[in-house]
Amino acid sequence: MITAIVLAAGESKRFGRNKLIEPLLGKPMIRWTVEAAVNSIVDEVIVVLGFEAHKVRRVIEDLPCKFILNKNYSAGMSSSVKLGVKQVAGKSEAVVIIPGDCPLIDENSINKVIEAFREKCLPIVIATYGGRRGHPILISRELFDEVMKISEKTFGLKYVIKKYESKIFHVEVDNPGILLDIDNPEDLREAEKLALKGVSNTLM
């Protein structure tokens, strides 16, 4: 089993309000992300909620995903990653980590990462565009214990990626949207431009 973990617990401090429910071409940002995950070949999708959980859940609760609540969301993204991995550690062979503020990640990019994992049998697979690393990031079960050691002090998953650099497989995708995470309103406008160009297969 492969599980997608969508990180949707953050406080959006740089954005100034909850960016996950901000509209992108008329659809809440987080819905773009979760729809891509549920339309991919993952076996299940778990959304980690936190800040304004009820508002975020309301715009995606009709989708076939599971929800877990990170009560410690103020501790940063690492706490959500660890909570998600802990939830599935006993059953999943790998997790696909997808930040909720990366709405232009499409199901094809997720699928390519999973297919590369099954073909190469390496513990970390990262999507790239033009040779630049983006998301999603797949991490296999053999590194779950390492993931449980991360914190904001270790810069989150960068600790694991740096430690196991030699065991990473990079899979090139044709979607520049994998490089774009939304930190501020200007990023959202850039995402709208990309979406209008059709870079994301989740385009309405």
For the segment 97-105, the average pLDDT, to the nearest whole number, is 96
Q: What is the pLDDT of residue 202?
A: 40
Is-cis flag, bond preceding 99, omega within 30? no
How do 124-129 and 23-24 pair as beta strands? unpaired
- Other Cβ atoms within 10 Å of 74 Cβ, number: 12
Domains located in the chain, CATH noted: 2-196 (3.90.550.10)
Give DSSP secondary structure letters for 144-166: HHHHTT--GGGTTTHHHHHHTGG
Does the pLDDT of residue 153 top 90, yes or no? no
Q: Who has greater pLDDT, 96 or 203?
A: 96
Do residues 177 and 110 make contact, with C-beta atoms less than 8 angstroms apart?
no
Place of tokens 């089993």: 1
Strand partners, 172: 128
Q: Average of pLDDT values for 24-43?
A: 96
Which of helix, strand or coil describes residue 98?
strand
- The whole-number pLDDT of residue 41 equals 98
Q: How would residue 43 be classed by pLDDT, with cut points 50, 70 and 90?
A: very high
Q: How many angstroms from the chain centroid is the CA of residue 185?
A: 20
Query: Confidence class of residue 197 from pLDDT cuts 50, 70 and 90?
Result: confident
pLDDT of amino acid 119: 95
Mean pLDDT over residues 128-138, rounded? 96
Q: Which residues contact 67 (CB under 8 A, 6 or more apart)?
A: 46, 47, 49, 57, 61
Contact between residue 118 and residue 142 where contact means Cβ atoms under 8 Å apart:
no
The helix or strand, by DSSP H or E, that contains position 196, with its residue range, turns out to be helix 185-196
Look at 90-99, 158-167, 191-200 and tell me which has the smallest mean pLDDT. 191-200
48: three-class secondary structure by DSSP? strand
pLDDT for the residue numbered 186? 86
Residue 155 has pLDDT above 90, yes or no: no
